[in-house]
Amino acid sequence: MNHNNKDNEGISKSGERVAVITGSSRGIGRAIALNFAKSKEYSSIVINSRRIDEAELVVQEIKKNTSCDSIAIPGDVSQEKDCIRLIDETVGKFQRLDVLVNNAGIQKDIPLTETTLQDWYNIISVDLTGPFICSREAVKQMKVQNDPRGGCIINISSVHQIIPKPHYVPYATSKGGIEMMTKTMALELATDNIRVNIVAPGAIDTDMNINLRTNVEERENTLRKIPMGRIGKDEEVANVVEFLASNKASYITGSTVIVDGGMTLYPSFALDYDHNSNHIFPKGSM
């Protein structure tokens, strides 16, 4: 579909940008939406999730606490027609689209041999195909706008675009795929002034990671992999997304910013500090 908007010259002033965040009814997506709304860079934020009632709660939160407008557009990003409608309705309502954050994601803990083709399709279609369709549709509008500030797409990937994750083959495959999709789109769209980047979180305290709240052993196991020794907060991811979407990141495209408390730094090579001798030893050597 071509989101041709003849009445709009497409030049945005500061504070007049429009953003769509998929899967923004809770967790990292909600934190991104609230950060954008508070930043005063945006006039309107579109909240998406499969259920309108959940999305509406975030819309109300934005309207109550900020001067930003917001609407809920329900839709399942694994469905092409829903992705097309999400972008169409956004442009229909606000006459522009400046920033798309592909955040919606699902995962499932299941051994390879028990992973059905349906499991594979379910996860790949939300985590990889959805970002592809939403980006394709958003770019049609961003090109029409021809705004000097450019368009911006941010994909929320994971440290598992780099670190293999046993029992999560479709999830890790999707996140690995997002990396090459991002780089390829960034290269194709660079001359259109449309930047495409990734934010890759480590372990963040959201409903997706409910086990880290309820299962002490799993929490301890995860903490051992994080040099900074704590689980991250959703707003710590949202802050980076806000930066990448802003003009301060105007020369960054095709990049991944990892937000993981050091999880990807080979934590087993970390140093232990002996307070008695004031010496630093390789971890595990004491």
Residues 6+ apart with CB under 8 A from 277: none
Residue 97 is a binding residue for ligand NAD (CB under 6 A): no
Residue 240 is a binding residue for ligand NAD (CB under 6 A): no
Residue 103 is a binding residue for ligand NAD (CB under 6 A): yes
Nearer to ligand NAD, 211 or 250 (CB): 211
Residue 28 is a binding residue for ligand NAD (CB under 6 A): yes
Paired tokens of 72 = 């809920």
Name the strand (E) or helix (H) holding 235.
Answer: helix 234-245
Is 171 catalytic? The answer is yes
Q: How far is CA 76 from CA 48, 54, 158, 198, in A?
A: 9, 13, 21, 21
Q: Tell me which residue has tokens 């504070």.
A: 15
Answer positive or negative: Cα dihedral of 191, 246, 55, 3: negative
Residue 106 is a binding residue for ligand NAD (CB under 6 A): yes
Residue 90 is a binding residue for ligand NAD (CB under 6 A): no
Per CB under 6 A, contacts with ligand NAD among 133-162 are: 156, 158
Q: How far is CA 111 from the centre of its chain?
A: 26
- List the one residue from 18, 152, 204, 249 that touches ligand NAD (CB under 6 A): 204
CB of residue 260 to ligand NAD, shortest distance in Å = 8
Nearer to ligand NAD, 22 or 182 (CB): 22
Residue 78 is a binding residue for ligand NAD (CB under 6 A): yes
- List the one residue from 17, 20, 21, 22 that touches ligand NAD (CB under 6 A): 22
Residue 23 is a binding residue for ligand NAD (CB under 6 A): yes
Residues 6+ apart with CB under 8 A from 55: 24, 25, 47, 48, 49, 72, 73, 74
Per CB under 6 A, contacts with ligand NAD among 38-57 are: 48-50
- List the one residue from 77, 123, 138, 152 that touches ligand NAD (CB under 6 A): 77
| Three-class DSSP category at 246 | coil
Strand partners, 17: 42
Paired tokens of 166 = 């046993």
Residue 35 is a binding residue for ligand NAD (CB under 6 A): no
Q: Choose the catalytic residue: 171, 251, 266, 273.
A: 171
Are 59 and 74 in contact by the 8 Å Cβ rule? The answer is no
Query: In this chain, which stretch among 65-73, 91-99, 100-108, 272-280 interacts with ligand NAD, using CB under 6 A?
Result: 100-108
Strand partners, 201: 259
Are 206 and 168 in contact by the 8 Å Cβ rule? The answer is no
Kindly list the catalytic residues.
171
Q: Which residues bind ligand NAD (CB under 6 A)?
A: 22-29, 48-50, 76-78, 103-106, 126, 156, 158, 201, 203-204, 206-209
